[in-house]
Amino acid sequence: MKPTLVATHPSTLSQLFEHERKGSIHSQWPETFNHLMRDALPTINGDKHRKIRKIMNPLFIPNAALNERFDVVMDCTQKLFATLAEHTLANQHNADDFVQLRPQALSWAFDIILSVVFPKGMIDSTTHQSLASNFHLWVKGFVDMNVANLDNPESLLGQAMIGKQNLIEIFTELTLECIDQYNAKTLDPKCTMFKLLNAVNIIHNGQMIKIDHEQNDAAGQKVELTMEEVADNLTLLVSAGHDTTASSCCNIAYCLQKYGDNEFVQQLKHDLQLLDAKNELFEFDTISNHEALDHFVKEVFRCYPTVTFLQKRFVNDCVINGYTVEKGNTMMVNWNMMNQCDEMFEDPLVFDPLRWAQNPISKKEYYPFGLGSKKCVGWKLAYLELKVLTAMFCTQYDYELDPNRVEKGINLLSFMDVHGKFASLKKSD
């Protein structure tokens, strides 16, 4: 067995991404992941990768697409804080009067991605609960590495496979409902599904589904997908669109309190409060273009990455930093070590958002969401969500965290959970 190499320097990472772009390197997952992700894997590796990214990128990357869904981000974030305040009030006479943030953050990020992808009103409370419970089953399966448990309903992996099948069935029904609305010209054109259906032909049960594409679109330009591929990729999209974002929500809350005396953080809060007083803060352009907000969120990502490592498998011989890495080798990308590289970051162990203003890091050296064709398709949406969240923490709510209950967990993903008390700073009418 060949040893696993470890990438700890940004120059190595940039070369890895370049070789991956050319198809010489693939992401490597445990065998159990291959079963859990099934037909979503071509989104990461394989022949359909470029086709699927060609569909997905225009749905999430352009500012115009994000601006269309800014109201969704605002509504869900306001709901999150209102829920936290309500739970804090309900707990005030309990022995434990703190509220656990992560479950609420998961619900917040889950609601946002579902509301972005599907039209308003399509997902009722029953479907929402079914999606949430089956996602919970599915995600737990990623910690069970014993492939022999695939058909064991008593194991985490076996339960995850049941949850996965349920998700496929739910997303299939939702897709068929979206197609009916699309053909009837009643599907909301701002939702992701409308734009997805504009770009694909779908085969279901061996037959092509009738989709009345806009007349100006040539049928030959459509990407052909099976319904299983659509449902599997929706599962991956919704999962990736909320789990790591929920972790970052907890990281934001933690950093705002831990580094509350930091001069940059204090100035950020002051600037945001001035904008809020003029009713100019919670607008898409203000949030998107606020550089200090951007610097703060980037520093949180750097110091508290939600993905700890990735493994890459060489399917061809490649040259990395002058050394030939033979086909069949594996290289692990360690994000924590990358983010603490003193050749790229001065005083890397210091939390300093100002570093992003004084010495901007090249996009070819630092990429928390990946690079090029493998970059997270929802990275701009995640930034928008977390900038809105930070602004809300700084201007709308007062909170304190329990310093004795900061829970951390690390495997493929890294997450932090905190417990706090939350109260609105605004007086109700």
369 vs 115: which has the higher pLDDT: 115
pLDDT for position 42: 47
pLDDT at 70 over 50: yes
Q: What is the mean pLDDT of residues 65-76?
A: 92
The reported pLDDT for the residue numbered 169 is 96
Q: Express the helix, strand and coil content of the chain in percent, nearest 5 each.
A: 55, 15, 30
- Are 80 and 104 in contact by the 8 Å Cβ rule? The answer is yes
- In this prediction, residue 34 has a pLDDT band, given cuts at 50, 70 and 90, of confident
Both tokens of 161, joined, read 């496979």
Tell me the mean pLDDT in the region 195-224: 82
Provide the pLDDT for residue 373. Answer: 62
128 vs 405 pLDDT, higher one = 128
In the predicted structure, residue 311 carries a pLDDT above the cut 90: no
Per-position b or e across 46-60, b if 16+ CB within 10 A of its CB:
eebbebbbebbeebb
What pLDDT score was predicted for residue 398? 92
- CATH class of segment(s) 4-416: mainly alpha
In this prediction, residue 11 carries a pLDDT of 74
Q: What is the dihedral of CA 152, 171, 386, 347, to 10 degrees?
A: 40
What residue type is 326 in one-letter code? E
Tell me what the mean pLDDT of segment 304-316 comes to: 84
Model pLDDT, residue 345: 86
Question: Looking at 149-153, 218-222, 286-290, which range is the least confident one?
Answer: 218-222
Q: For a pLDDT cut of 70, what percent of the chain falls above it?
A: 89
CA angle (33, 226, 156) in 5-degree steps? 25
More confident residue, 99 or 221: 99
Query: What are the pLDDT digits (tens) for 376-428?
Result: 778 889 999 999 999 999 999 999 999 888 877 655 566 678 999 999 987 55
pLDDT at residue number 3: 64
257-272 pLDDT per residue, tens: 999 999 999 999 999 9
Q: Which residues, 6+ apart, have CB-to-CB distance to 418 below 8 Å?
A: 100, 101, 102, 250, 253, 254, 401, 402, 405, 406, 407
pLDDT, tens digit (0-9, with 9 covering 90-100), for 319-342:
988 889 999 998 888 888 888 888
* pLDDT at 364 (0 to 100): 54
Instruction: Kindly tell me the sign of the dihedral angle through the C-alpha atoms of 121, 122, 127, 133.
Output: negative
Residue range 201-217: average pLDDT?
84
The conformation of residue 210, written as its DSSP 8-state character, comes to P
The yes-or-no verdict on residue 372 having pLDDT over 70 is no
> What's the CA gap between 42 and 135, in Å, rounded?
21
Give the ranges where 200-242 is alpha helix by DSSP (H): 227-240
Tell me which of 41-50, 167-176, 384-393, 401-410 is least confident.
41-50
Q: Could you give the CA distance from residue 154 to residue 158 in angstroms, rounded to a whole number? A: 7
Instruction: Specify the pLDDT at position 39.
Output: 58
pLDDT of residue 429: 44
- pLDDT of amino acid 342: 84
Mean pLDDT rounded to a whole number for the chain: 86
The listed range with the strongest mean pLDDT (41-50, 323-332, 371-380) is: 323-332
**What is the C-alpha separation between 45 and 41, in angstroms, rounded?**
6
The residue that leads in pLDDT, 171 or 343, is: 171
pLDDT band at 118 (very low <50, low <70, confident <90, very high): very high
Q: Where are the domains of the chain?
A: 4-416
What lies within 8 Å, CB to CB, of 171 at 6+ separation is 230, 231, 234, 235
pLDDT at 80: 96
